[in-house]
Amino acid sequence: MSIRVLVVDDQRIVRAGFRAMLNAHDGIEVVGEAADGRQAVDLCAQTGPDVVLMDIRMPVMDGIDATAHIVGAAADGDGARPRVLVLTTFDLDEYVYDALQAGASGFLLKDATEAELINAVQVIARGDALLAPSVTRRLIADYARRPRPRRMTASAVDRLTPREIEILTLVAQGMSNAEIAGYLVVTGQTVKTHVSSILTKLGLRDRVQIAVFAYESGMVSPQV
């Protein structure tokens, strides 16, 4: 089954470029294009994409508000559960932090290569691995340094087993399931089961949120 992608950017030439690269790859299908956040929200409801490739700066509704609407609708059970992959021009774009808080599942620079684009879409679609380039690690680490109320109490951490806490910290360090499995000498399926349990117990939706939680709760110290 193909990964269904919605491309959102206010520049038509940018949308055309991403569409061409994505449609050229077997297993990925662009199901629509939107020129602003409002169109993106409406098209998500109509097309049910797996991944939304979301620009941040757009007219009518920006990518941050659109991400919050799309993720919120999914959480409320009002449609499909697309994951949002944010497009950014600069690797430390201040608006990216707000997109992360709004529920984005990953980040991609607009000058990414075709291979990086395809890989990012596949990673986000399966929700199986945190994007681990240095840009994403720096974004999460810097985001975590910013003062903000912690969303979780100590009681939330108390729900986790020692093994789950160990895996949570490794996820926060940017390790994939395969890397964690090798490090702990367990199967990939075992790691996947633990990650799913962590998400359920903490009420989180993906590995990006696991990483942010680990930094915000002080379980992992930012290292850049």
Task: Name the band, by pLDDT with cuts 50, 70 and 90, for residue 8.
Answer: very high
CB atoms within 10 A of CB 11: 12
What are the tens digits of pLDDT across the range 89-128?
Answer: 765 556 766 777 788 888 888 888 888 889 889 888 877 5
In the chain, where are the structural domains located?
A: 3-127, 150-216
Tokens of 58: 């757009």
Say which residues have a Cβ less than 8 Å from residue 195's Cβ, sequence separation at least 6.
Answer: 167, 171, 177, 207, 210
Fold that domain 3-127 belongs to in CATH:
Rossmann fold (3.40.50)
Neighbours of 15 (CB within 10 A): 20
Cα–Cα distance, 219 to 166 (Å, whole number) = 10
pLDDT band at 224 (very low <50, low <70, confident <90, very high): very low
Candidates 17, 10, 19, 76; CA nearest to 38 is 10
Q: What is the pLDDT of residues 136-169, one digit of tens each?
A: 556 666 665 665 545 555 577 888 999 999 999 8
Q: Report the amino acid identity of residue 180.
A: I
Do the beta carbons of residue 106 and residue 86 sit within 8 Å?
yes
pLDDT score, position 90: 64
Segment 69-88 mean pLDDT: 74
In this structure, CATH architecture of domain 150-216: Orthogonal Bundle (1.10)
Burial annotation 58-80 (CB, 10 A radius, 16+ → b, else e): beebbbbbbbbbbbebbeeeeee
The predicted pLDDT at position 146 comes to: 60
Supply the pTM of this predicted model.
0.72
Section 185-213 average pLDDT: 87
pLDDT tens-digit series, residues 15-59: 999 999 999 998 999 999 999 999 999 999 899 999 999 988 888
